[in-house]
Chains A and B, each alone.
Chain A
């Protein structure tokens, strides 16, 4: 029995969610609330930071501290929040557009610096909020509102990007794998440094309608069947891989986070090259 219930973190009175039927975002909200409860984190020690987009509306449903800012900037706000008070659990919720398209520069640097926060990306492979235009994770040739004949650019692999940047914890799952979402979020929050949980989330209204003519259920089935564990994925032949989505934990490291390194370097001995302290 934990001291907290998931409802301690949620404004249930703000429900029902604003999201479309079949959207994965509500599933992630519940998984996050469950994770917070199981970790027994007091709501006043948690800050949910969001940008703009469908998933960027998620802060509306949390009873924790919250920050809702402009499109693409959730991570630099979260950076200031986390460095400003290292006792906080800062959780940045971003769509793929927010996180790695308009916010791509912030994403690579927050991961590289290893800022102590948890990023949860709801990747629906398009811009849900503005009507399903393509983003930097839309797969090459996918149909979207602004790529009626197919996306001419390849999409980012968000986890691979974070890995290159040196994030401490990186995991990917799908909205179909509910318990895995919670498990990864718990691991991510417990990890000091930059943690990423990418949840591949269906957007039936926009991406689904254009790329899954058989309907929302086909999209869910796709996530269920095509999401395979990394170990299975790695055993596949290269041409087979393009059909599948690798899920699991991609990185679990303990590189020191930004503030720890900062204070190691600026310990009273070394600050100001020692000069100031001599005079003080």
Chain B
């Protein structure tokens, strides 16, 4: 269970970006989490709720988009979702597949409210 440390990293990325944008509050945090990232989304959300208390991100919604595992066949180039019972390429049966998605773990975007709406206008965002 290493979600606590990971959630701390998530929060520090979120707070840094929010501060950079001059935000008064973070309302939503969108994450992409691969199926094989070894991170449990519910656990991450739980810790985020605790760690974010007293910060700009207190009460922010945490949205997790799970990214499925996908392989690319090194033999024929076919991209496919492997079955646990059959990792081999369904097109050419080669088992020289390489993982192309499924290990992602990143903060995709955040939604914030700006204290100073003037700065939001000048940066071209509304």
Instruction: Determine if chain A interacts with chain B.
Output: no
Q: Which A residues are within 8 Å of any B CB, using their own CB? A: none
Q: Which B residues are within 8 Å of any A CB, using their own CB? A: none
